[in-house]
C-alpha cells in the first residue's frame, strides 16, 4: 500500500493550514526588479524621466515633466519577501484573502468590481484603486488619509470589512511558519522573531516596484513621433487643452497631481453619499472630496470612481462635461473644485480622450506571481 505523505499543521487565523513535510523550498531573490539598478546591495529607481526637472517644459501637461520624489533603496530580499506576502492569504484573519485578492495584477492591480469584496463576503465601501506607481504617491486611499506605504498597508490588513486581522494575530501566524521565519531573517538580518514593522516594510518594498512608465505615450513623450495614432494625438491635444483642462489634475508623468478634489461625483446605485476626505474633522471643507487617481493603466481597471459608479472610460470622461455640480445630491452643499465647469466637449472629443487614455497602458514590468507561498494556502486566482 502506498503511504500518504505526512502533513504538518499550524493554526492560522482560526484555520489549520496543512503543509507537506517535504515543503517547497523558498529562497528570496538577490536581484533588483526591472526598472531598478542595484547599488550597494539596494535597489534604486532608474527612469528616463529622472533626467527632467519638475519645471522643465511643464506647461499644462508638459511631456517632459520630471518625476516627484520616490520610495526606493529597499534590498532585493525585502522586495521579494513583500511579493510573497502580497499573494499570501495568511495575512487575512481566516486565511482566505490576500492583498492580491482585491489588487489583481492581471486587472491593473484592481479587481473589476464596483465595490471590493472583503472577508466572509462582506462588501467594502469603495472601489479598489490600482497600485501601479504607488511608490511615487504621498497620499493613499481614496480619502488620502494615509501618508506612507507602510501606513497604507495596515488599512486593509486590520479593517473588519477587508482582511479582518489584528497585529498580534498576524505576527503570531507568520512566526508559526518556519519558511517565513527564515525568509524574514534573510530580508531583515538583525534577527529575532517576525515583527509587524517588518511586514509593513516588506509590503511597501514590493509595492514600490510596481512601475508603469513605458507606455506608448511615454515613447511619444521621449520623441518617438509615431508611437501614438492620429486619434490618440488628437486625444492628447484635448487632454492638454485649456478647454478640457484634464492635465491640470491628471498631471503627467504620473497623470495625477495627488490632490484631494471635490468634484461632485455620484455614488454607485443603492449606496449612500460618501463624505470622502470630509469625514476627517480636520478637513470638513473637503466633504465629498477624493484623491485624484492616476490614469496610468486606467483602461485595465474598470469600473471607475471611488464608488465604481462608471462602468466605462467613456462614461467617466462624459461626466466632466455634464455641467458643474450636476450630480451633487439634493441637500448637499459641496465646495466644488474651482476648475470643474462646463467644457461642453463634443462626442468626438470624448472618444478621442478615451483613445488617449488607452495609450497610457503599460504592463511591461508586471511582477511574477509566485508558484506557491510559504503558508501553503492557495494563491487567489481571480
Cβ burial, residue 85 (10 Å; 0-12/13-18/19+):
buried
pLDDT at 151: 97
Residue pair 204/153 in contact (Cβ under 8 Å)? The answer is: yes
Rounded CA gap, 290 and 142, in Å?
5
pLDDT at 338: 83
pLDDT at 4: 33
Encode pLDDT of 130-172 as tens digits. 999 999 999 999 999 999 999 999 999 999 999 999 999 999 9
Rounded CA gap, 211 and 49, in Å?
12
pLDDT at 327: 93
Q: Which three cell numbers stand for residue 317?
A: 470622461
pLDDT at 21: 33
pLDDT at 60: 63
* Main-chain phi, psi angles of 45, to 5 degrees: -60, 140
3-class secondary-structure state, position 178: helix
pLDDT at 174: 97
Rounded CA gap, 115 and 348, in Å?
31
Cβ burial, residue 121 (10 Å; 0-12/13-18/19+):
exposed
Checking DSSP bridges between strand 42-45 and strand 7-12, what pairing results, if any? unpaired
pLDDT at 9: 42
Report residues of the chain scoring pLDDT below 50: 1-16, 18, 20-22, 56-57
| Architecture of the 36-207 domain | Orthogonal Bundle (1.10)
pLDDT at 10: 44
> Counting every residue, how long is the chain?
382
pLDDT at 131: 98
Rounded CA gap, 201 and 89, in Å?
18
Indicate the CATH number of 216-358 among 1.20.1280.260, 3.30.70.20, 1.20.58.1610, 1.10.760.10.
Answer: 1.10.760.10
Q: Judge if 36-207 and 216-358 fold alike in CATH terms.
A: yes
The counts of H helices and E strands in the chain are: 10, 6
pLDDT at 20: 42
pLDDT at 341: 82
Domain range annotation of the chain: 36-207, 216-358
pLDDT at 5: 32
Give the single-character DSSP code of 321: T
The Cα-based distances of 302 to 115, 127, 213, 310, 360 in angstroms read 11, 10, 20, 8, 14
pLDDT at 11: 46
The Cα-based distances of 116 to 12, 150, 270, 300, 366 in angstroms read 23, 21, 15, 16, 22
Amino acid at each position: 500500500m502506498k503511504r500518504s505523505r505526512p502533513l504538518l499543521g499550524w493554526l492560522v487565523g482560526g484555520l489549520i493550514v496543512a503543509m507537506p513535510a517535504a515543503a517547497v523550498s523558498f529562497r528570496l531573490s538577490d536581484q533588483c526588479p526591472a526598472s531598478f539598478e542595484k547599488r550597494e546591495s539596494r535597489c534604486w529607481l532608474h527612469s528616463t524621466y529622472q533626467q527632467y526637472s519638475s519645471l522643465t517644459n511643464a506647461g499644462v501637461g508638459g511631456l517632459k515633466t520630471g518625476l516627484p520624489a520616490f520610495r526606493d533603496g529597499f534590498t532585493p530580499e525585502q522586495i521579494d519577501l513583500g511579493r510573497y506576502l502580497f499573494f499570501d492569504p495568511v495575512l487575512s484573519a481566516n486565511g482566505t484573502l490576500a492583498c492580491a485578492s482585491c489588487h489583481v495584477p492581471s486587472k491593473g492591480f484592481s479587481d473589476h468590481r464596483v465595490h471590493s469584496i472583503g472577508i466572509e463576503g462582506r462588501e467594502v465601501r469603495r472601489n479598489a484603486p490600482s497600485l501601479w506607481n504607488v511608490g511615487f504617491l504621498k497620499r493613499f486611499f481614496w480619502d488620502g488619509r494615509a501618508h506612507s506605504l507602510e501606513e497604507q498597508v495596515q488599512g486593509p490588513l486590520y479593517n473588519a470589512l477587508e482582511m479582518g486581522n489584528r497585529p498580534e494575530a498576524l505576527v503570531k501566524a507568520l512566526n508559526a511558519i518556519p519558511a517565513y521565519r527564515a525568509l524574514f531573517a534573510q530580508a531583515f538580518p538583525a534577527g529575532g522573531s517576525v515583527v509587524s514593522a517588518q511586514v509593513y516594510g516588506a509590503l511597501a518594498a514590493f509595492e514600490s516596484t510596481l512601475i508603469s512608465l513605458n507606455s506608448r505615450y511615454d515613447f511619444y513623450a521621449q520623441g518617438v513621433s509615431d508611437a501614438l495614432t492620429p486619434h490618440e494625438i488628437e486625444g492628447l491635444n484635448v487632454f492638454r487643452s485649456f478647454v478640457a483642462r484634464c492635465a491640470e489634475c491628471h498631471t503627467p508623468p504620473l497623470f495625477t497631481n495627488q490632490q484631494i478634489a471635490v468634484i461632485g461625483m455620484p455614488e454607485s446605485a443603492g449606496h449612500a453619499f460618501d463624505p470622502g476626505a470630509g469625514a476627517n474633522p480636520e478637513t470638513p471643507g473637503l466633504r465629498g472630496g477624493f484623491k485624484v487617481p492616476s490614469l496610468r493603466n486606467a483602461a485595465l481597471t474598470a469600473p471607475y470612481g471611488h464608488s465604481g459608479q462608471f462602468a466605462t472610460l467613456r462614461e467617466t470622461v462624459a461626466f466632466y462635461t455634464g455641467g458643474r455640480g450636476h450630480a451633487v445630491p439634493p441637500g448637499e452643499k459641496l465646495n466644488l473644485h474651482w476648475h470643474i465647469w462646463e467644457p461642453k466637449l463634443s462626442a468626438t472629443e470624448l472618444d478621442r480622450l478615451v483613445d488617449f487614455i488607452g495609450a497610457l497602458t503599460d504592463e511591461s514590468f508586471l511582477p511574477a506571481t509566485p508558484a506557491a507561498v510559504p503558508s501553503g494556502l492557495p494563491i487567489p486566482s481571480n
